[in-house]
Amino acid sequence: MSPRELTVSVDDDRFDVPRAYFADADVWRRELEAVFRHAWLLIGHESEVPAPGDYVTRRMGLDEVVLVRSEAGELHVLLNSCTHRGTLLCKADVGNTSHFRCGYHGWTFGNDGTLRGVPRGRELYGKDFDKSQLGLRAARVDSFHGLVFATFDQELCSLPDYLGPMAFYLECILGVSPAGTDAPYGSFRFTHLGNWKLEADNLAGDGYHLRHAHRAGFEMGLMGAQAGSVEGVCVQFEHGHALRAQRTATDAEEQAFPGYPEDRWPEIATQLSPEQARMFAHSTVMHGLVFPNMAFVHTPRAGGFDDGEVDAAMMQVRLFNPLGPDETEELNWLVTPRDYPEDWKLSAFKTMQRQHGATAFFESDDLENFRRMLQVNGGRETNRLVPANFDLARDVAPFTPWFDGPGNVVGADVSEVNQRWFYRHYLEMMGADA
Amino acid sequence: MSNDDAVVAFIRHETHLLNSERYDEWLGLLTDDFEYRMPMPVLRDDPTQPRYSDVSLLAWESVRSLTLRFERILTDFAWADRPPAFHRRHLTAVRVAPTEDPQRVAVSSDEIVFRSRVPEGSTMTSALREDVVDLSGSAPRLARRTVLLDQDRPDLAQIALLY
Ligand code: FES
Ligand SMILES: [Fe+2]
């Protein structure tokens, strides 16, 4: 399908994305080239590979990669493909090794990616054979508060520039403790039906679906302060990122950080800048998208699921990789302050798995909506007559946010401004006519 | 009926209740401290190493969280369960063994769970169930269930189900 056939009608009255964007295999292949190739992609958390030689295998788009800590203690993201004939080098999910040895002809690579051993190399390749040219292909790697990102695009800006002012908001969560962050329960990896962008746009800012898709959660009293009197904003950033932040509407001068141990509140207030603290205090929920395929959900919870559990805020970081237009591979992590008490981390973990994990009832309702779109995507008339529509709250009533933060802050709790932002950026990268 | 036979009959009964979606009755067979766990399958290179994470639990449910889970199904807004999926647990090789606690026995079973729904399609998942059954009361009660999936990188349709 040519870009022309995928023309999008985006004007003052309508914001429609053709269904082909959620169904077409050519679109998916172009995404890998035009979108995923030119972005910093989340790989994992530093705590998954604490010691030299520790590794986990991951994907960047369809590329298999290894995140490994070298003997020197540095993080590397290496293409998991032997530079001899290209066989997948490292087949395990996790492990520790000083060397990766290929199962085919036995080439051996150090855990920093350098080619170390070639069986009978001198004899068969000659003494001028230059091993230094045949190390594992390495991505650029950088970390942000423990989250490891990588890209193969040499031209792309640095990770700090890529995140830009979104860091202001992410740091409200990831920067509350001077001890840094931890992923104490490791990573969860599974596949599900549905186009990856549906999850991206939902988590970028779909405040609209909450009271309907998750109505069972509201009725059962599981939505905490989100069910109360709240106000919220949608914020957009360069490179396609967006987030939605909501708090309990209050005039109180005093800052509360619900879900965090009260004895840590002074520490949080000093860790964050005054403006960050103002933004984050009284938070009921914050979720967003780091373009293109990392999302996060942060929600404080009053009382755990079981008797006697402490209040704990849950920060789930998610990654969704498109295995095709219809299938997505997801990874997620609970990210906590590193030095918080074990019972706090445990309560947060239970909330994550029971409310937002793969086996949880919340997730199931979102994913049901995503996969039910697959069922209609094939229809000829459906494609022609029912594009995906993102018109909600084009003219939002002006509302002055409770803080002065960076990015394009729109005072609207429920709108599709973030989704429009996400798709605009995405479509631009895809070279679509709009 | 020997003690072991009674435990096997109990396991058959509770499985039948799950298959029949008689969740209230099933909850009544649990101890107050019942825990349901599904560790994340994690493959290491060495076949002698454990195949499951000892920290990453895909599911960790208590009586309270399971009660909420079943209550949700009965609200009008359980979108993922409307219409419902077909599901059936097929149990075989139920084995009963003593534990250090004379009041509790370990039960392990091989299980195949079939699930089918549009649009997810059908999945057939093999797993090992490791249970602890409490015999301290007048009737056996389920105190713990750990589900070990025979599968690396499972699909959501396979894990969002009670085994
Ligand atoms: S393919 Fe790896 S050594 Fe030949
Ligand atoms: Fe949702």
Q: How many domains is chain A partitioned into structurally?
A: 2
Pocket probe mutation, ligand 1, options A80, A81, A82, A88, max atoms within 8 Å of Cβ: A82
Contacts of B55 in chain A (CB under 8 A): 184-186
> Would strands B141-149 and B30-41 be described as parallel, antiparallel, or unpaired?
parallel
Q: Is the pLDDT of residue A395 over 90?
A: no
ipTM: 0.95
At residue A368, what are phi and psi to the nearest 5 degrees? -60, -45
Same domain assignment for residues A183 and A323: yes
Q: Do A191 and B153 touch (CB under 8 A)?
A: yes
Contacts of B145 in chain A (CB under 8 A): none
In a domain, A36, yes or no: no
What's the whole-number mean pLDDT along residues B121-143?
97
In a domain, A25, yes or no: no
Residue among A358, A371, A372 minimizing CB distance to B159: A358
Q: Rounded CA gap, A20 and A1, in Å?
A: 9
Domain that holds residue A262: 162-430
In a domain, A270, yes or no: yes
Same domain assignment for residues A283 and A197: yes
CATH 3.10.450.50, domain B3-160, yes or no: yes
Q: Which residue has the higher pLDDT, A357 or A297?
A: A297
| Residue B63: alpha-carbon gap to chain centroid | 13
Q: Which residue has the higher pLDDT, A394 or A234?
A: A234
Identify the pLDDT of residue B60: 95
Identify the pLDDT of residue B90: 98
Q: Rounded CA gap, A316 and A283, in Å?
A: 15
The ligand whose atoms approach the alpha carbon of A86 most closely is 1
Same domain assignment for residues A188 and A136: no
H/E segment holding residue A43 = strand A41-45
In a domain, A224, yes or no: yes
Identify the pLDDT of residue B40: 97
pTM value is 0.96
Strand order in the sheet with A115-117: A99-101, A108-110, A115-117
Q: CB-hemisphere CA count at 13 Å for A6?
A: 21
Same domain assignment for residues A119 and A182: no
- Atom of ligand 1 at shortest range from CA of A82: 2
In a domain, A386, yes or no: yes
Q: What is the CATH number of the domain that holds A259?
A: 3.90.380.10
Identify the pLDDT of residue B1: 67
Q: Rounded CA gap, A67 and A57, in Å?
A: 6
In a domain, A271, yes or no: yes
Q: Which two tokens stand for residue A415?
A: 């709108």
Q: Which residues line ligand 1 (CB under 6 A)?
A: A 82, 84-85, 87, 102, 104-107
Q: Rounded CA gap, B13 and B102, in Å?
A: 23
Highest averaged pLDDT of the listed ranges A102-111, A384-393, A398-407, A408-417: A102-111
Identify the pLDDT of residue A3: 47
Same domain assignment for residues A95 and A205: no
**Under a CB-based contact definition with an 8 Å cutoff, are residues A430 and A423 in contact?**
no
Residue among A188, A365, A371 minimizing CB distance to B40: A188
Largest CA distance in chain B: 48
Distance A135 CA to ligand 1 centre (A): 12
**Under a CB-based contact definition with an 8 Å cutoff, are residues A243 and A291 in contact?**
no
In a domain, A237, yes or no: yes
Domains in chain B: boundaries = 3-160
What's the whole-number mean pLDDT along residues B72-79?
91
Beta bridge partners of A244: A234, A287
Q: Is the pLDDT of residue A360 over 90?
A: no
Portion 28-87 of B in contact with A at CB < 8 A: 38, 40, 42-45, 53, 55-62, 64-65, 68-69, 71-72, 75, 77-81
User: Among residues A340, A229, A289, which one has the least CA distance to residue A39?
Assistant: A289
Q: Which residue has the higher pLDDT, B124 or A357?
A: B124
Q: Rounded CA gap, A140 and A79, in Å?
A: 11
**Under a CB-based contact definition with an 8 Å cutoff, are residues B34 and B63 in contact?**
yes
Contacts of A212 in chain B (CB under 8 A): 77
Distance B145 CA to ligand 2 centre (A): 29
Pocket probe mutation, ligand 1, options A105, A109, A120, A137, max atoms within 8 Å of Cβ: A105
Q: Which two tokens stand for residue A285?
A: 């929920």
Residue of B nearest to A375 (CA): B119
H/E segment holding residue A31 = helix A25-34
Same domain assignment for residues A211 and A131: no
Interface size, chain A vs chain B, as Cβ–Cβ contacts under 8 Å: 116
Q: Which two tokens stand for residue A219?
A: 């009725």
Same domain assignment for residues A204 and A348: yes
Across all residues in chain B, what is the average pLDDT? 96
Same domain assignment for residues A304 and A229: yes
Distance B84 CA to ligand 2 centre (A): 20
Q: Which of A113, A144, A175 is the last residue of a domain?
A: A144
Name, in order, each residue with C-beta under 8 angstroms of A158's C-beta and a sequence gap of 6 or more: A142
Identify the pLDDT of residue A4: 46
Q: What radius of gyration, in Å, describes the C-alpha atoms of chain A? A: 23
Contacts of A306 in chain B (CB under 8 A): 62, 64-65
Same domain assignment for residues A79 and A113: yes
Q: Whose CA is nearest to atom 3 of ligand 1?
A: A105
At residue A7, what are phi and psi to the nearest 5 degrees? -55, 140
Distance A108 CA to ligand 1 centre (A): 9
In a domain, A13, yes or no: no
Which 3 state secondary structure label does DSSP give A434?
coil
Across all residues in chain A, what is the average pLDDT? 94
